Amino acid sequence: MVPQTAILHYLRWMRGFLMVFICLASLVFALNSCRPDKYAAENDLISSYYAQFPDSGARVKATTSILEDKLVSYAIIPDTAVATYQYALKYILNNNSAPFEASLILAEELRPFLVNEPRLGLDSILLSDIAVRYPESRIASIVQGLTGRPHSDSSFLDNLMRGLTREDLQQPLYKNFALLYIAKMHEKKAASWNKEYAPSGNTVFIARSNTLTFVIDSAGNAWHNDDPINIEEVGRQTCLFMTQDSSKANWVIGRISLIGNQPINTGVIIIGVHPNAPNSQLLSIYEEINRVFTDKRKVAAETFFRKNYFLLDKNQRSALQLLTRKWISISELASPEN
């Protein structure tokens, strides 16, 4: 049997050990409690931002959630992971362009939520006050860097968004404005959707052999070769038009940087629109055509670069856009309908 004195000695040792452990734990807790909040300035700033609104920012928080859900549902961004926000934000700031294709329908849906966004609505006096109260913060550093130079909310936000870590992007201020940055860049890209339209007839020879034509009548009905078609058929015909073996379009062999010699489709997609046709049908047809091109580019990204299309760099993206060149000509039909 174990002697009673040994048991008592063990119990005293355990009690002493627990006392030391409790003291150390209390000390660590106290030190952590005294440690300044790394994001105190950001929390102060976003509180001021939310305070602009009568509902204490509930509307803004709801808008952020709506933007996030819509960007994912339309596959503009693959997910809402911090790494995704970091990549998209870095790409946008470095290239002034987007690492994704745009959706015209989504642009219409987002417009009400992006009016006057992104904005802080904070004057320089308040920003300076926050910088003085939190001199070690990123906000203070940015304010100091802009001192003596005219700047706007946008320029302040540009500087605020640069160089963010994944830890930073978990903080509500940075996540909120990173999301707005992505949504605004989507809006900007959607606004320039005609940049991939076909050049004028003086520079591109358009013949029946290298065109795919859709017509939208005044009632919004879509036609192809005098036959009515639905949106799914628009996608199928577009896919066929982009397939070398089945397409009538002209093909040329071109050398593409990073890829090499490849067959390139020089065909033009024409959308003839009656003057009274509903705009929603034009958007739907363009959306379906764009989806087919985007899907082709996603497959090509895996084939040539072993990467998700969203994660391509600017040069890789340009190569795939040349490989799957998208020329679209939208023409208003003369009345009566052709």
- What digits encode the pLDDT tens for the residues 79-115? 999 999 999 999 999 998 899 999 989 998 888 888 7
Q: Length of the chain in residues, anyone?
A: 338
pLDDT over 50 at 330, yes or no = yes
- Checking 315-321 for CB contacts under 8 A at 24+ apart, the result is 315/257, 315/258, 316/258, 317/99, 318/257, 319/256, 319/257, 319/258, 319/259, 321/297
- Of 99, 105, 97, the closest CA to residue 85 belongs to 99
* Alpha carbon separation from 166 to 90, 245, 275 (Å, rounded): 12, 46, 50
Over residues 167-172, mean pLDDT: 92
% of residues, the chain, pLDDT over 70: 73
Per the CB < 8 A criterion, the answer to whether 188 and 200 are in contact is no
Kindly state the DSSP code that residue 277 receives in the 8-state scheme.
S
For residues 238 and 61, the model is more confident at 238
- Which pLDDT score is estimated for 127? 80
Six-digit token string for 108? 């219409």
Q: What is the mean pLDDT of the chain?
A: 80
Q: Report DSSP letters for 213-225, one per residue.
A: EEEE-TTS-EEET
Per the CB < 8 A criterion, the answer to whether 316 and 301 are in contact is yes
- Which pLDDT score is estimated for 177? 85
- Which pLDDT score is estimated for 246? 64
pLDDT over 50 at 70, yes or no = yes
pTM of whole model > 0.85? no
Any idea which of 26-40, 56-70, 86-100 has the lowest mean pLDDT? 26-40
